């Protein structure tokens, strides 16, 4: 887009954003299946007819929420990485991002893992969106590990640590898993890099 072009926000865009905001909050707090379309209508103030015009099905709202969560995750990882200078530190910054996230009052674990647990077996599009997000994260870790000169086997190990930390923090209700995963990641990185020396 050049400087003469502008982005036009339509009324429907604003309604979509409001619906996604509310759906994200409700789904993340209570689970997708416990939130009805009527409740979304009530919480958003958007008529059911308009809601279905914006999102032809509840599945479409779930996918829109997951797309937003993917964007938030990617931006959070990028922000944490921007604060450090070396590839090794960018790998460890993943766990710093997790540590910040785990201390948020509304932290309830990974929205993708939660949605997959609820709907992955019955809603193929949710399973696919979850797999795509996890593959995207694994690709990011692999790229940064390659920049660090690490062997290829390191990236999947670091990604698994991050995924496990999310689940552990959600279940335990304490953020310690991020620091523990970071310490384990540092050990794995150092061992892998030492093996390349």
* Cβ-based neighbour number of residue 184 at 10 Å: 16
pLDDT in tens, 9-50: 788 999 999 999 999 999 999 999 999 999 999 999 999 999
With bands split at pLDDT 50, 70 and 90, how would you rate the model's confidence at 194? Answer: confident
Cα(12)–Cα(78) distance, rounded to whole angstroms? 30
3-state class (DSSP) for residue 6? coil
pLDDT attached to residue 186: 97
Cβ pair 149, 193 in contact under 8 A: yes
Could you identify the residue written with the tokens 């509304």?
106
What digits encode the pLDDT tens for the residues 128-160? Answer: 999 999 999 999 999 999 999 999 999 999 999
Residue 4 pLDDT more than 70?
no
Report the pLDDT value the prediction gives residue 197, as an integer from 0 to 100. 45
CATH code assigned to 58-196: 1.10.357.10
The token pair at 117 is 């647990």
- Closest Cα partner for 92 from 152, 139, 161? 161
Domain boundaries, the chain: 58-196
Task: Give the count of beta carbons closer than 10 Å to the beta carbon of residue 14.
Answer: 10
Whether residue 37 contacts residue 58, with contact meaning beta carbons closer than 8 Å, is answered with yes
pLDDT, tens digit (0-9, with 9 covering 90-100), for 59-116: 999 999 999 999 999 999 999 999 999 999 999 999 999 999 999 999 999 999 999 9
Residue keyed to tokens 């990617």? 74
CA angle 117, 118, 124 (to 5 degrees): 85
């Amino acid at each position: 887009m050049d400087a003469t072009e502008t982005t036009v926000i339509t009324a429907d865009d604003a309604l979509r954003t409001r619906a996604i905001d509310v759906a994200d909050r409700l789904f993340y707090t209570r689970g997708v299946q416990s939130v009805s379309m009527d409740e979304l209508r009530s919480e958003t103030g958007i008529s059911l007819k308009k809601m279905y015009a914006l999102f032809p099905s509840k599945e479409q709202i779930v996918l829109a929420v997951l797309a937003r969560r993917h964007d938030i995750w990617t931006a959070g990882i990028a922000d944490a990485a921007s604060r450090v200078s070396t590839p090794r530190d960018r790998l460890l910054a993943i766990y710093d991002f997790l540590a910040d996230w785990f201390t948020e009052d509304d932290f309830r674990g990974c929205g993708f893992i939660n949605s997959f647990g609820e709907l992955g077996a019955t809603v193929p599009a949710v399973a696919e969106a979850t797999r795509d997000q996890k593959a995207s994260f694994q690709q990011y870790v692999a790229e940064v590990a390659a920049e660090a000169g690490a062997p290829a086997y390191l990236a999947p190990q670091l990604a698994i640590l991050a995924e496990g930390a999310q689940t552990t923090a959600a279940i335990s209700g304490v953020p310690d898993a991020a620091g523990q995963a970071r310490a384990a990641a540092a050990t794995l990185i150092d061992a892998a890099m030492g093996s390349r020396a």
